[in-house]
Amino acid sequence: MQKKLTIALASLTMSMGLMACGDDAQQGRGQMPPSAVDFAVAQTEEVPVYSTLTGRTTAVKTAEVRPQVSGVILKRMFTEGSIVQEGQQLYQIDPAIYEAQLQSAKAELAKANANLYTAKVRYNRYQKLVETNAISKQDYDDAEANFKAAEASVLVAQAVVKTAQINLNYTKVYAPITGTIGRSSVTEGALVTTGQAQQLATIQQLDPMYVDLGQSVSDHLQLKKNILNGSFDPNSDGQQASIFFENGEEFSEKGKLEFSEVNVDQSTGMLTVRVNVANPNHILLPGMYVKATIKEGIQKDAITIPQVAVTRQTNGTSIVYTVENQNCPPNVQYCVGMKVIETSGEIGNKYIIKSGVKAGDKVITSNLQKIGPGAPISPIEATTSSDQTKAE
């Protein structure tokens, strides 16, 4: 009997020990040690504001060369794809018919001058005779009228000569602007007519070039709003633009914003922003798809945080974890908070915050995969590159 009592007491003691161990294990799991994390303080600073827009290049000047008289092309006098100068002859139209018209007009002018001479002599003679009543007043009036009609005929003949000379000059087709000329749409021997729909060739001035970009109405209105409320300073020295090709390579020349269109394209809901950029080597060609980053100005008191602190969610939102010392679990000094944020751009390795974080908030920058809202943490302020520079 005593032996059975001893065994029972031993079993009870072992069970109580196991229960105590289980309580200790549960207590250990409930109070896991805080995770060490780095954090950075959200700060305000003045940052340059850039807009990244897309668009296409356009020639500053474009001239379609068309015939102003009808005739057969005798000669093309330029090399396709070359640079032509304003006033340089491009085509020669057969001038034979226009030379004949000019000669005919000059003959009519000579005839009109002869008639004028006769009428003038008669008029001068009749002036003296009418004073002595040697002729009737009616004969004098007729002589005066014939003289004035002869003067008018000379003016008409001179105008016909001038028109014929202009038409003859138009048989030589000249370049209206300086620029690069494209392919010729006609060959020697082709018949061209006045007012035809097809141009003979097209000349485009490629230096400088326009870049026409599209900006959304919402971005445009936000920019205007920021200027009006004083949170944004536009550039006083003009807004510069960096041009990028479709493959991401940056163009060597900087552009300058010329104007923003006042009308909204109803089909796209976009405004046209035009940039003027030098193109000395003709690298940019009309119709090329490009991107442009335009420096709009300076945003005052912009809130910035390191990009490494931002986590993208599967639903498309962005969040940051923050260091909190309130509403933490019992016996926890610091814990993790979570905030949904919106960004309005980036500068260097920082995001510019539009909403969700205010200046002074401590955003966590490390161990983001190992923590979650409410988790205990041991925060350590991260050393910035500027701090390291000062320390050195």
User: Does residue 349 register a pLDDT over 80?
Assistant: yes
Q: Using the predicted structure, report yes or no on whether residue 4 has a pLDDT greater than 60.
A: no
57-111 pLDDT, tens digit per residue, is: 999 999 999 999 999 999 999 999 999 999 999 999 999 999 999 999 999 999 9
Strand 350-355 and strand 335-347: the pairing is: antiparallel
Query: Using one digit for the tens of pLDDT, what is the confidence trace for 184-209?
Result: 999 999 999 998 999 999 999 999 99
Of 338, 311, 312, the residue nearest 323 (C-alpha): 338
Could you tell me which residue, 386 or 229, shows the higher pLDDT? 229
pLDDT of residue 121: 93
Q: Which of 5-9, 159-163, 220-224, 301-305 has the lowest mean pLDDT?
A: 5-9
Q: Is the pLDDT of residue 147 over 90?
A: yes
Say how far apart CA 360 and CA 353 lie, in whole Å.
13
In the predicted structure, residue 2 carries a pLDDT above the cut 50: no
Q: With beta carbons less than 8 A apart as the criterion, state whether 200 and 183 touch.
A: no
Residues 276, 255 contacting (CB under 8 angstroms) = yes
Among 364, 244, 350, 248, CA closest to 307: 350
Residue 5, token pair as written in the block: 């009592």
All domains in the chain, ordered by first residue: 34-45+302-384 (2.40.420.20), 49-60+207-300 (2.40.30.170), 67-93+174-198 (2.40.50.100), 95-170 (1.10.287.470)
* Res 31: pLDDT: 56
The pTM of the whole model exceeds 0.75: no
When pLDDT is averaged across residues 18-44 and rounded to a whole number, the result is 66
pLDDT score of 25: 39
For the segment 347-364, the average pLDDT, to the nearest whole number, is 91
Interval 311-348: pLDDT, tens: 999 898 999 999 999 888 888 889 999 999 999 878 88
